[in-house]
Amino acid sequence: MYKISKQFAFSASHILEGLSGDHPCSRMHGHNYIITVHLKSAELNEVGFVKDYRELSFIKKYIDDVLDHRHLNDIFDVNPTAENIARKLYEIFVKQAPQIYAVEVSETPKTTAIYEADGK
Ligand SMILES: Nc1nc2c(c(=O)[nH]1)N=C([C@H](O)[C@H](O)COP(=O)(O)OP(=O)(O)OP(=O)(O)O)CN2
Ligand SMILES: [Zn+2]
């Protein structure tokens, strides 16, 4: 199995619902998000790629157009935790790149949430 990944970045604000009022993440705050998209394939194409990194430019376009400098509570129909964002982005991106099997979301340099498709 061959595996590749590519990172994308955006800045956005959010409020996490369902936390106690004294939890800092219940207040509006922002992150410099890093998204890592993971792809895999048992076979390489004729060039020797799982997929040309340049063919992932649709992800950069989505992030720039939809997420960058936005309030994520207005974008997603779920609480915008890192876990939920990872799953939502997986579901959106896999439609155009079926080799994607996982999406990672980092809100800070010390934290990462990963959504990985079952049995892929
Ligand atoms: N499992 C999750 N826990 C938390 C999430 C999340 O999405 N999933 N999100 C947050 C906050 O939005 C934000 O990420 C703050 O995280 P935290 O690690 O507390 O950030 P700090 O920089 O304040 O942490 P330090 O320990 O001060 O470095 C919270 N939890
Ligand atoms: Zn946060």
ipTM for the complex?
A: 0.94
**Looking at the domain that runs over 2-116, which CATH code has it been given?**
3.30.479.10
**Residue 13: pLDDT band by 50, 70, 90 thresholds?**
very high
Q: Is 16 helix (H, G, I), strand (E, B) or coil?
A: coil
Q: Coil, helix or strand for 1? A: coil
Q: Which of 108, 112, 114, 115 to mutate to test the pocket of ligand 1 (most atoms within 8 A of CB)?
A: 108
What pTM did the predictor assign? 0.96
Nearest ligand 1 atom, CA 111? 18
Give the mutation target among 15, 25, 88 for probing the ligand 1 site: most ligand atoms within 8 A of CB.
Answer: 25
Residues 81-101 pLDDT 10s:
999 999 999 999 999 999 999
How many residues are present in the chain? 120
Give 12's Cβ-side CA count (13 Å radius): 27
Residue 10 has pLDDT above 90, yes or no: yes
- Are 15 and 73 within 8 A, CB to CB? yes
